[in-house]
Structure 1
Amino acid sequence: MSEAYITRIAKFLPNESVSNDEMEEYLGFINGKPSKSKAIVLRNNGIKARYYALRKDGTLTHTNAEMAAEAVKGLFAKNPAEIEEMDLLSCATSSPDQLMPSHGSMVHGYLPESGPVEVVSPSGVCCAGMHAFKYAYMLVKLGEKEKAVACASERLSTVLRASQFEEEVQQLLKLEQNPYLSFEKDFLRWMLSDGAGAFLVEPNPNSEGISLKIDWIEGCSYANEEEACMYMGADKTADGSLKSYKDYPAEEINDHSVFSIKQDVKLLGEKIVKLGFAKFLEIMNKKGMSMDDVTYFLPHLSSYFFESKIETFFKENGIDVPKHKWYTNLVTKGNVGAASIYMMLEEVFNSGALKKGEKILLAVPESSRFSYMFCMLTVV
């Protein structure tokens, strides 16, 4: 089999950085009042800035597919004509602009200069970006593709706006109940961000500068054991199952904000680190590796709250991962879902700090129904 290398990484961030104080100027005030949970959530998640594909007046500036296409174009910025050589476009998101056509097809539609190309669209949430990457990796390894692009993008700001919850608030007012959003809906409004990232995967490393050899990519789902923890386009019933938006009368979809993104915070705290990192230890043992072999550890975090949880898990298992090995950009970019790991690796790859022989570990937990992806890279 061929080897497979990440030879270039690019990202695209829409508009200007949005500070914590500005968030409700973009997303709006629920029932005209500041959020009760915003300060608590921001204090715990540690995020100071994020990006939105919209303006303060609500005007949308980019679709999800447009942002993904801009990230892909960034891979070929030095020689735009080279995009004609792209032979795979593997695109992931948890927030496509439409149910059909596929997200990947829509991204390809913004790349007319690329010509006809194989397109695939892995679905999911945070792990979807890694699934898109693994598909590109496998096809290059098999010798079927020579210039494969994997990309991941999110545009969730539009479902976080106050207008999305107005019908539910009005229903609560009619019932004389407190017209504030439940915490499971308000929680994620202060964590999510928009943007896109892309990898170029090739069978040979760069002749100049560095590349990242893809040693392995491993994943695992616990959906057979655990109920949904984060969901959208559905509501959770008393027995823990999900009721699809397709099964609601049209008027109830708005009344219950069914298309809002929701998080079972209690289930998240109990399970997200314990399940995934136990599996990670199994994978490392199988590979005959330890954290001592890792130079840089890049965990996708939805909140800095979980950094200490991972650290505690490592220490309880006799593993010491000093802070200088950790890297995350959550504080400045927010949680960009499937695209977060692309943006983190882009900053490390283009930092000028990497040295040949160093190893980079990527860890991507997904709370939706507890899935995990891990990847080891070697700087060459």
Structure 2
Amino acid sequence: MYSRIIGTGSYLPARVVTNAELESKVRTNDQWIVARTGIRERRIAGDHETTSDLAVAAAKAAIAKSGIAPEEIDLLIVATSTPDVIFPSTACIVQDKLGLHGFPAFDLQAVCAGFVYALATADQFLRAGGAKCALVIGAEVFSRILDWQDRSTCVLFGDGAGAVILKRSPEPGIIQTRLKADGRYRNILTTPGYISNGQIVGHPFLKMEGSAVFKFAVKALADLATETLELAGLTQSHLQWLVPHQANIRIIESTAKHLGLDMERVVVTVDKHGNTSAASIPLALDSAAEQGKFSSGDLILLEGIGGGFTWGAVLLRW
């Protein structure tokens, strides 16, 4: 048995923050942001919107488009680095808000690689017979861990959620998954603060060594793409689409060049969404699906990389 994506969904908060708006708050400009990152705008969650709220909206859209009854879901994984609370898990909160109960629901934290980690995990459950129908969500409110005076980070991120319904199938959907991590690089992209005795200890906002992250990501994603295809017994020429983590247009272009893919075959949403961490790949996937870009049987590579460092890929047939 395999697992196949049978429905996608997404949700973006209503508030749009453009580069022009950021120019009035921090010393930066639209030209610099676009040239270095490709980002033109991002969405920011409302004051009363939580990660689980975004996740539920994306989940409902995915359920509706898949045509399943919600009661068919027997596994729920939420990839997030910005949970509603320390515990219970955001997944359990989402499960309750969807009116479901009684099956495994848990969060998975691998930062920007979170969705591919979660999708690979759900795929293993379904292949092994531990579940028949999984709801996999990537959801983030990164705006709440940003220092809005730090121009090196606050211009990069946005909020949102994306979801997929994954169901057991005798026909290949997900063909190959590959996950990696290297904790030696944990300090170049981190939010190191934590709560102790009711107080914040350490730095509570995201910190990033941009050039070091860029160099690592370009090589890691290129190598992983080749490795994933080889493990599946396929070559770059078989690939129709790349759906990458939407962090930086230059990283995306570098990965596409390595794979010999024209940018018309790469799903790009970073200009509209910014970096939504674990939500970026499912948001991009749903955007492309809604536009009818994918055809039945297309070979698609999903790739993500995030703090940890964690990185991973999922190769699938549409």
Superposition TM-score, scaled by structure 2 size: 0.89
Asked if 1 retains the 8 angstrom alpha-carbon contact of 2:7 and 2:65, the reply is no
Match of 2:176 in 1: 216
Match of 2:268 in 1: 328
What's the secondary structure of 2:76's corresponding residue? Answer: strand
Instruction: Say yes or no: does 1:284 pair with 2:229.
Output: yes
Match of 1:242 in 2: none
Amino acid at match of 1:191: L
Q: Distance between the aligned counterparts of 2:297 and 2:254, measured in 1?
A: 29
Match of 2:123 in 1: 137
Q: Which moved more, 1:124-133 or 1:275-284?
A: 275-284
Alpha-carbon RMSD across the aligned residues, in angstroms, is: 2.7
Q: Taking structure 1 as reference, are residues 23 and 105 closer, same or farther at Cα in structure 2, changes over 3 Å only?
A: farther
Residue 334 (structure 1) shift: 1.4
What's the secondary structure of 1:356's corresponding residue? Answer: coil
Residue 6 (structure 1) shift: 0.4
Q: Taking structure 1 as reference, are residues 107 and 249 closer, same or farther at Cα in structure 2, changes over 3 Å only?
A: closer
Residue 270 (structure 1) shift: 2.6
Larger Rg over CA atoms? 1
Match of 2:243 in 1: 298
Asked if 2 retains the 8 angstrom alpha-carbon contact of 1:53 and 1:155, the reply is yes
Amino acid at match of 2:134: A
What does the per-residue CA deviation read over 1:280-309, in whole Å, with 9 as the maximum and x for residues that have no partner?
323323332211000111221311132343
Instruction: Say yes or no: does 1:271 pair with 2:270.
Output: no
Match of 1:171 in 2: none
Q: Distance between the aligned counterparts of 1:161 and 1:110, measured in 2?
A: 31
Instruction: Say yes or no: does 1:114 pair with 2:100.
Output: yes
Asked if 2 retains the 8 angstrom alpha-carbon contact of 1:300 and 1:328, the reply is no
Report the count of equivalent residues.
318
Structure 1 or 2: more strand by fraction: 2
- After the TM superposition, which parts of structure 1 deviate over 6 Å for at least 4 consecutive aligned residues? 78-81
- Select which of 75, 80, 83 maps to 2:62: 75
Residue 378 (structure 1) shift: 1.0
Asked if 2 retains the 8 angstrom alpha-carbon contact of 1:37 and 1:186, the reply is no
Asked if 1 retains the 8 angstrom alpha-carbon contact of 2:5 and 2:167, the reply is yes
Q: Taking structure 1 as reference, are residues 352 and 372 closer, same or farther at Cα in structure 2, changes over 3 Å only?
A: same
What's the secondary structure of 1:51's corresponding residue? Answer: strand
Residue 38 (structure 1) shift: 7.1
Q: Taking structure 1 as reference, are residues 81 and 249 closer, same or farther at Cα in structure 2, changes over 3 Å only?
A: closer
What does the per-residue CA deviation read over 1:324-364, in whole Å, with 9 as the maximum and x for residues that have no partner?
22221111121110010001111222322322222111111
- Select which of 209, 224, 230 maps to 2:189: 230
Q: Taking structure 1 as reference, are residues 251 and 371 closer, same or farther at Cα in structure 2, changes over 3 Å only?
A: closer
Match of 1:165 in 2: none
Q: Distance between the aligned counterparts of 2:247 and 2:253, measured in 1?
A: 13
Superposition TM-score, scaled by structure 1 size: 0.76
- Select which of 73, 89, 92 maps to 2:79: 92
Asked if 2 retains the 8 angstrom alpha-carbon contact of 1:5 and 1:201, the reply is yes
Name structure 2 gaps, 5 residues minimum: none
